[in-house]
Amino acid sequence: MSDIVLETRGLTKRYGGVHALEDADFILRAGEHVAVVGDNGAGKSTFVRQVTAVEQKTSGQIFFDGREVEFADPLAAREAGIETVFQTLALADDLDVPSNLFLGRELFKWRFGPFSWLDRKAMRDRTLEALKTTAVKIPNVDNPIRNMSGGQRQCVSIARTAAFASKLVIMDEPTAALGVQETAQVENIIRGLKERGIPMILISHNLRQVFDLVDRIVVFRRGRIVASLNRDETDGNDIVSYITGVKGGADVADA
Amino acid sequence: MAQTTHGLGGLKYDPTKRTRAAEWNVFFALLLIVFIFEVLNRLNGSSFLFNMRDNVDAIFNKQRLDIMILQVAITGIIAIGVTQVIILGGIDLSSGSLVGATAMIVMSFAQTALVNGNPNPKAIFGDWAMDLPVIVPIVVGMGCGVLAGVVNGLLIAYTRIPPFIATLGMMVTARGVARWWSNGQPVSFPTESYSHLSNGDILGTLTFGALPWPGQNPAVVFVVLAILFHVLMTRTVYGKRSYAIGSNEAAARMSGINVDRHKVLVYTIAGCLAAVAAILLTSKNLTAQAGMGVMYELDAIAMAVIGGISLSGGRGSILGTVLGAMIFSTIISGFTSIRLDAYYQEMVKGAIIVAAVVLDQWRQRQRARG
């Protein structure tokens, strides 16, 4: 079973009495792109937050890269190789593009604790390189990103993820606030990840996008995983039936 | 595509253009203010920039410049720390009171035993604390700064109370300490070496007499600290983290920056800078009084604000604050040069602080509209 990148067993999260995520068994294989879909409040984001340790799970197990993991915080998850694009942009508006790309993992000329000297040229060069491979066009990377469009900012966020992606990429609604052109650009980055063989979990409301991009679709409903379907063996109506509970209701009771 | 339209309300901007550094606007404002005072002076037949006395026309008035730098040096040192705290997204109201408390405590360890052959009339401690080497009061003073800064930082980082409240508490407490220390009595008569800290000529000594600048040590320290922290804020990860936290604390946290530890560090540095100011101030004045440093924190904040800082954090610079301090002292010197009453000075100072922010916001909206 060495080709399994991420596996969760019985992953559960409760906020007080609210069962946000219940007994989620999930498997992601090497090179696989999986979409997570479901209605608002179905537990998609909660699921991601447990895997990336933004929150601590109530119970269950997470296996990543062949061993069980207990990440203390998002940084630990990131250091293990999980790169995440969060729904709310994790960008610092007043910093330029290189500073945002390298936020928390700066390159140094020499190290002296909190006063370590930044290697600004190396960071800038690698930023331009990363933007080139992701085909993102940012006219001037030295400007603070405050003045950039929503699409450009999202592209910076995704370029950061793609540039540092090692073992797993998770994207939570990456195109939710974007225009048509910008969405296409993000989708191109995702296809680039597929070509590089980097596995991905994509949370999306956009079924057209989901069918375009991923291999498998996992449906969440009311905190539970109600279906896991290969893209070629299902269609939009089928997925919507699971999302709304027309299908799969009986299975849930047993699971 | 030179111009793009995007986002809410179709805001326009030219993405290829590098945004001009905000400090330039502050610099132009400084030049404008100098120009205005020069004109106002010329109307009376005198000059702001040049020494017109004894009919020696057009000799640059170095004395005025010296006074201008010296009178903002002490508050300017505080403003360097306050600037870093505000960039971090915080505020420090305690620096003025901290100057007062540190001044009293430091001076008690800097006293000399004999004043004109008589025992020191203001002695706080016994003989053991008299004529100590100058390093002792310096270490004690820095210790006060570190202590107050660490307490500020820990309160803000770990109890999550707003910086305004935490440093307001410190402001009141430190002023209390300053008054309690000697029951409100001034602490005076420092040793020769202590008074030399401010009144000596460090620049002249370091340049082997090439650049004598006696009595201007606070100004030298101010300039050195300004350059040091300008470099730290722009070239090292210390500044990068400060800007990141002030800009988006959640993002900084998610990126793995130890936000709480960094906050403690920045508030500690601010405390140390207030302590440096206290040492230089007492050395300059040869005495410490419980009321020292009143309103310094607000002057420091005002300098930062005039220098283009954003009180919501993430934006601003040491250079801007230094320029803000220069505007501050230009206004004071300028009004003195045209013999305007001190009361008017305060009023105009207030108006200029507000005008600086209004202009800055107006400029930003203009830039957003393109």
Angle A35-A58-A245 (CA atoms, 0-180°, nearest 5)? 45
**In terms of CA atoms, which chain A residue is nearest residue B9?**
A149
pLDDT in tens, B71-95: 899 999 999 999 999 999 999 999 9
Minimal C-alpha gap between A86 and chain B (Å): 10
Pairwise CA distance, residues A217 & B21, whole Å = 48
Q: Which two tokens stand for residue A216?
A: 């498998």
| Residue B343 buriedness (CB in 10 A; 0-12 / 13-18 / 19+) | exposed
Q: Is the minimum CB–CB distance between A149 and chain B shorter than 8 Å? A: yes
| Protein fold of A4-254 | Rossmann fold (3.40.50)
Residue A60: phi, psi to the nearest 5? 105, 175
Residue B55: phi, psi to the nearest 5? 55, 20
Helix (H, G, I), strand (E, B) or coil at A219: strand
The terminus-to-terminus CA distance of chain B in angstroms comes to: 14
Minimal C-alpha gap between B256 and chain A (Å): 5
Chain-chain contact of B247 with A118 (C-beta, under 8 angstroms): no
pLDDT in tens, B24-43: 888 998 999 999 998 988 88
Identify which has the larger pLDDT, B47 or A24: A24
State the ipTM, two decimals. 0.79
Q: Is the minimum CB–CB distance between A178 and chain B shorter than 8 Å? A: no
pLDDT in tens, B127-175: 888 889 999 999 999 999 999 999 999 999 999 999 999 999 999 999 9
Q: Is the minimum CB–CB distance between A104 and chain B shorter than 8 Å? A: yes
Query: In whole numbers, what is the pLDDT of chain B averaged over residues?
Result: 87
Contacts of A95 in chain B (CB under 8 A): 240, 243-244, 247
Minimal C-alpha gap between A123 and chain B (Å): 13
Nearest to A114 among B238, B248, B254 (CB): B238
**Look-up of token digits 């002249």:** B204
Nearest to B243 among A91, A95, A120 (CB): A95
Predicted local distance difference test score (pLDDT) of residue A235 = 87
Contacts of B314 in chain A (CB under 8 A): 92-94
Pairwise CA distance, residues B203 & B220, whole Å = 7
How do the domains of chain B map onto residue ranges?
74-296+313-319
How do the domains of chain A map onto residue ranges?
4-254
- The pLDDT profile of chain A, 255 residues, written as one tens digit per residue, is 468 999 999 999 998 888 899 999 999 999 999 999 998 888 888 999 899 888 899 999 999 988 899 998 888 888 888 988 876 667 898 999 999 989 888 899 989 888 999 999 999 999 988 888 777 777 788 888 887 877 788 888 888 888 787 789 999 888 887 888 788 888 888 888 898 889 999 998 888 999 999 999 999 998 899 989 998 888 888 888 888 888 875 444 443
How many other C-beta atoms are found inside a 10 Å radius of the C-beta of residue A162?
Answer: 25
Chain-chain contact of B251 with A92 (C-beta, under 8 angstroms): yes
Q: Which two tokens stand for residue A76?
A: 């630990």
Q: Do B111 and B284 touch, CB atoms closer than 8 A?
A: no
The terminus-to-terminus CA distance of chain A in angstroms comes to: 23
Q: Is the minimum CB–CB distance between B316 and chain A shorter than 8 Å? A: no
Predicted local distance difference test score (pLDDT) of residue B11 = 39
Q: Is the minimum CB–CB distance between A91 and chain B shorter than 8 Å? A: yes
Minimal C-alpha gap between A230 and chain B (Å): 33
**In terms of CA atoms, which chain A residue is nearest residue B232?**
A115
State the pLDDT confidence band at B5, using cuts at 50, 70 and 90: very low
